[in-house]
Structure 1
């Protein structure tokens, strides 16, 4: 067929394809633009939050440094008591500037007069000792705030100050000597420590990397840079000192600039696959939403309590969930490790302390232990405590540990209930086995009498019987014998389960025993027209075993094989000595066979497979399970392989024979 340009077929094909290309390209462009716009807006919001967080982190870090150096620090003590400028400059001011990146360090007395000052070469707030530093109103305000703190712990005042036209992050902390110290005749006078950190290009570069933004700059208070975000930098007195400006990330626009041109080209080429692409996108979005939902649910469900322990001071921080899982309000738990120790069960406390010591001393990487804690209502909750050392000092000793508490009371109670239920089930099983063992003995006595008297009747010890009477007496005798066999199997099974089965080992010629058992089953095989064949070694094979129980194993296997083999079938019993050691007795039939899932049922006591062959024969389903148990009592095992319509092979493996004796030849055929 030749398609001419402009023909209806061409138009019907090209126009929809072109339309699909156009719609596909427009849809992708629109979706990409919307997504890019949304991403850029979200990135701008996130960058602002990250910048604010980074500035807060800088203030916090400087505040922690100031606080650490004003709590009974030796260099500051010497500054107050016996001023040694060289010592203070090298061990105190110089260390803070060189090691911690401070731009300036000052010490003021309680009245605000400068006692000590040290700056680096680039400090623009004046020379050392210049009055402009102490006279700065923002610093004076922070000095008053610090001096207003209580005597038990320094309170750090932080802010941004403008000294000499240069912006600095300032941290002021009150010097607090150790309470009741006897190192000095009289307590040192009070004062404050001032640490300044310069907000220069290096500082801004560090903030920019932390916040993942570009083109960080400090502008005049009223300036505003196009295409950037701004945030005011205010002094402690509330004046706007400058404006912090940065360029927010634009992942969406960057993505479009790089990806949109090739995307449009690919969209034109792949327009026919647009439906498939959209389907894939929808599936991915649904999967992503499902994953996010699962993550949110998991985070909401993992309601762990958090703890943070300062090992050197003994202070601890416990989260609200840490307290509420025990029924306490957060303010009811003292933030000290002693409060935690008082809640731990006395029996569990030694193990908990050992685990903590192992983690602190580095013998274990993590701390993990389950212990009980007393709840507010007096009950005991099981807690899974986990943690690790996060900070060590120069000597390697642990300084800080953090971790979580998880309430595992429900799991521990469930485990205990499971253990109790298992113990009860085992006890009930033992009682059942003992009951069956005892009752089987009680049932044997009257059955022996019934069988004996019916046998005497059949032999006409008490006079001649009519044919009908003989028939009834034979039925009584047969039924009693069958019932006695069943009770015997139940008794043996119960003995094994109750642990009361005793073996009487003696030398046993396995070849002779198998031949004897095959002879006993020959008549039953003849009645069912089943060929019964034996394959035995040419010499006797003697092992040490309980002859009665071994005969019982072989007869049970032969009886099952003959019973479930249809007319014209075949049963083979063989004794084999594998090269790897041991002795194998296998019984193979060409009967109905079993499915793989039915083999487990056949090996369970009192279970029978519900097929036409098994329904034609009486039985309790004890033959195979009892043979398996008796084989295991001899230190061996029983394996069963079967295939529907192809027959079944049962193999009993026993320990290696005691010896082999080549005394006589034994025929390998019996029927």
Structure 2
């Protein structure tokens, strides 16, 4: 009596069709792994249990990377209960693997295997092909090409839209750090890795190509790597087969890790934005400085007229108030000048005249100019060792401006009985100038902020006036002259204080 045919399973014709499709897939692509993934996907549908796993065996032992499995969507309510089922896969009398799955309960095992025999034979043949080629790249003409592309950071994929089988998905998984057979073998599995914010962009690019609006599919998006980070992926592809209605049935494509390129592009974009913001700031400072100078010069001019007006002389009290106006105006005018210089030097438009500058006489001029200010503050100005005939290459006027600013800071932030000392020495082809003061010193953890504009390191409310521009301007001027300006605290044995160090090129002999 003939065995009863399991009516709850697909027809034998459907089983034959899927087995033949998988074998044809392998013949066409030369990729047994892709065909096995397709067959597993088909098996999950045919078994009606929602799961199919094809596992390779070598000498009776499982092969680590020889697992091909798929699962269809979760069973709907009311579907029959399932049970596990498996069958050995034998090719030419040799066991090559196992096919496992789930089937509806009540199925007759005696009829099940013969009913699925085409599926089992196709799986066995594909496993035998895969096992024979896995350790021999030369037997697969595409393997050397794919290996070379992989070394270049390009990973190949193939998508069968009829079964949603995504061949070579492990190539893309390798790019993201996943082990083989971890992320699944369908496009739906890959879609789970795409960043939610980028999914619509990828889908829109695919749909445009599927409709024939673009020659190829191209998308750059974020995908989740095995370590949980987001990597940028650049993906390209093309539909290579369509059905009678023009719908895509097969696609080929490549993927590459675009994280480095994206980060470089983002860094370049950030740099351009910073440069644009800096240019806008410099232009703003330049315009504001010019606009402020005109009315301020008028204020100072009228204050001077009041002081020298003999027709209507000022009372002593009025004269004192006019002097305060002039002092405040002079301070404001100097600050505006510093602002204008800073904007010009940052934009590269400040005129610089590099020349040979004898250092000793320039240092004496600066010290003599500030002696009265130092005496009023109770600070001793001293010129230490400066080698005779020492000549630096710099702009004499700008170098004097820098030295006066540094010496003035040493006086302002000092203490009665303190000192400021100027020394210079030769170090190879460079001249090193030290301006040492015995003042209140600088917090070492804030030295990196010292040369930023308008940064006074918490001394805004102190008794010493300042705008926080002078050191920023000095730093910029020294750099424009090919030098470097740094600040260092005095050694602990010497007490509190600061060393401002200028490194400038020596003038050619």
TM class, shorter-length: 0.5 to 0.7
2:364 to 515, 526, 534: 515
Distance of aligned partners of 1:460 and 1:577 in 2 relative to their CA distance in 1, 3 Å threshold: farther
Q: Say if 2:212 is the partner of 1:344.
A: no
1:594 to 424, 435, 442: 442
Q: 1:298-328 CA deviation, whole Å, 9 max, x = no partner?
A: xxxxxxx95329xxxxxxx854334676679
In the alignment, the residues of structure 2 paired with residue 423 and residue 405 of structure 1 have an alpha-carbon distance, to the nearest angstrom, of: 27
Preserved CA contact (<8 Å) 2:366 2:404:
yes
Larger Rg: 1
Instruction: List aligned pairs for 1:63-78, cutoff 5 A.
Output: none
Mind listing any 5+ residue stretches in structure 2 that lack a counterpart?
1-18, 29-57, 60-85, 99-108, 116-164, 170-184, 207-211, 221-231, 240-251
Instruction: List aligned pairs for 1:260-275, cutoff 5 A.
Output: none
Distance of aligned partners of 1:520 and 1:372 in 2 relative to their CA distance in 1, 3 Å threshold: farther
Corresponding residue for residue 347 of structure 2: 498
In the alignment, the residues of structure 1 paired with residue 27 and residue 496 of structure 2 have an alpha-carbon distance, to the nearest angstrom, of: 89
Q: Say if 2:351 is the partner of 1:454.
A: no
Preserved CA contact (<8 Å) 2:392 2:504:
no
Mind listing any 5+ residue stretches in structure 1 that lack a counterpart?
1-62, 73-99, 102-157, 161-168, 172-194, 198-202, 209-231, 239-304, 310-316, 334-338, 349-367, 376-400, 660-671
Q: CA deviation at 1:548?
A: 1.2
Distance of aligned partners of 1:466 and 1:159 in 2 relative to their CA distance in 1, 3 Å threshold: closer
Corresponding residue for residue 428 of structure 1: 277
In the alignment, the residues of structure 1 paired with residue 447 and residue 409 of structure 2 have an alpha-carbon distance, to the nearest angstrom, of: 14
Q: Say if 2:234 is the partner of 1:370.
A: yes
Distance of aligned partners of 1:629 and 1:502 in 2 relative to their CA distance in 1, 3 Å threshold: same
Partner SS for 1:492 = helix
In the alignment, the residues of structure 1 paired with residue 357 and residue 267 of structure 2 have an alpha-carbon distance, to the nearest angstrom, of: 46
Partner SS for 2:338 = helix
Instruction: List aligned pairs for 1:188-587, cutoff 5 A.
Output: 195-197=92-94, 236=113, 307-308=167-168, 319-322=187-190, 343-345=216-218, 370-371=234-235, 423-460=272-309, 462=311, 464-578=313-427, 580-587=428-435
Distance of aligned partners of 1:520 and 1:407 in 2 relative to their CA distance in 1, 3 Å threshold: closer
In the alignment, the residues of structure 1 paired with residue 421 and residue 410 of structure 2 have an alpha-carbon distance, to the nearest angstrom, of: 9
Q: CA deviation at 1:633?
A: 0.2
Preserved CA contact (<8 Å) 2:236 2:255:
no
Corresponding residue for residue 484 of structure 2: 637
Q: CA deviation at 1:642?
A: 1.7
In the alignment, the residues of structure 2 paired with residue 556 and residue 615 of structure 1 have an alpha-carbon distance, to the nearest angstrom, of: 19
Corresponding residue for residue 620 of structure 1: 467
Preserved CA contact (<8 Å) 2:218 2:234:
no
Q: Say if 2:506 is the partner of 1:656.
A: yes
Q: CA deviation at 1:503?
A: 0.6
In the alignment, the residues of structure 2 paired with residue 550 and residue 431 of structure 1 have an alpha-carbon distance, to the nearest angstrom, of: 27
Partner SS for 1:534 = strand
Distance of aligned partners of 1:491 and 1:233 in 2 relative to their CA distance in 1, 3 Å threshold: same
Q: CA deviation at 1:405?
A: 8.1
Q: 1:528-582 CA deviation, whole Å, 9 max, x = no partner?
A: 111111124342322332111111100110010000011111111112112x221
Q: CA deviation at 1:519?
A: 0.7
Instruction: List aligned pairs for 1:39-188, cutoff 5 A.
Output: 171=91
Q: CA deviation at 1:431?
A: 1.7
Q: CA deviation at 1:460?
A: 4.2
Preserved CA contact (<8 Å) 1:322 1:405:
no
In the alignment, the residues of structure 1 paired with residue 257 and residue 391 of structure 2 have an alpha-carbon distance, to the nearest angstrom, of: 63
In the alignment, the residues of structure 2 paired with residue 575 and residue 468 of structure 1 have an alpha-carbon distance, to the nearest angstrom, of: 47
Partner SS for 2:168 = strand
Distance of aligned partners of 1:561 and 1:405 in 2 relative to their CA distance in 1, 3 Å threshold: closer
Q: CA deviation at 1:527?
A: 0.6
Partner SS for 2:298 = helix
In the alignment, the residues of structure 1 paired with residue 288 and residue 27 of structure 2 have an alpha-carbon distance, to the nearest angstrom, of: 84
Partner SS for 1:577 = strand
In the alignment, the residues of structure 2 paired with residue 405 and residue 550 of structure 1 have an alpha-carbon distance, to the nearest angstrom, of: 53
In the alignment, the residues of structure 2 paired with residue 588 and residue 233 of structure 1 have an alpha-carbon distance, to the nearest angstrom, of: 99
For the aligned residues, what is the CA RMSD? 4.9
